[in-house]
């Protein structure tokens, strides 16, 4: 009986882990590398339309790669609010 309880507990824990792994991988896959992303990919960021995406590309072409995600606020029209709503999905590497 004790062994059955241990086996059941193991199965529950294992099931939870298996359920969470795809979510973690999906979250990682959603990252947008602002140093490499195309205009279309940049447009997947919240509050970033075609014109802002073009500005991001122009900025990195003129100034080189962004060194940290917060640098996106150096692009004209991209403010703190836009950065904050996208902070979890912006990558620079």
Q: Does residue 79 share a domain with residue 50?
A: yes
pLDDT digits (tens, 9 = 90+) for 14-58: 677 777 766 655 555 589 999 999 999 999 999 999 999 999 999
Q: Does residue 68 share a domain with residue 53?
A: yes
DSSP state of 56: H
Mean pLDDT lowest for which of 6-20, 43-57, 59-73? 6-20
Q: Does residue 40 share a domain with residue 15?
A: no
Q: How many domains does the chain have?
A: 2
CA separation for the pair 51, 37 (Å, rounded)? 14
CA separation for the pair 90, 80 (Å, rounded)? 13
Instruction: Provide the domain limits for residue 3.
Output: 1-30
Q: Does residue 40 share a domain with residue 24?
A: no
Whether 88 has a pLDDT exceeding 60, the answer reads yes
CA separation for the pair 21, 18 (Å, rounded)? 6
Q: Does residue 76 share a domain with residue 51?
A: yes
Percentage of the chain with pLDDT > 90?
Answer: 68
What pLDDT was estimated at residue 16? Answer: 77
Q: Does residue 83 share a domain with residue 43?
A: yes
Q: Does residue 83 share a domain with residue 55?
A: yes
Whether 93 has a pLDDT exceeding 60, the answer reads yes
CA separation for the pair 34, 50 (Å, rounded)? 14
């Amino acid at each position: 009986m004790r062994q059955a309880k241990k086996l059941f507990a193991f199965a529950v824990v294992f099931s939870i882990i298996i359920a969470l792994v795809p979510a973690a991988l999906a979250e990682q896959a959603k990252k947008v590398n602002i140093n490499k992303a195309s205009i279309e990919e940049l447009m997947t960021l919240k509050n970033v339309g075609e014109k802002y995406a073009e500005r991001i590309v122009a900025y990195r072409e003129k100034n080189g790669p962004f060194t940290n995600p917060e640098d996106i606020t150096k692009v004209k029209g991209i403010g703190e609010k836009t950065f904050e709503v996208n902070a979890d999905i912006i990558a620079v590497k």
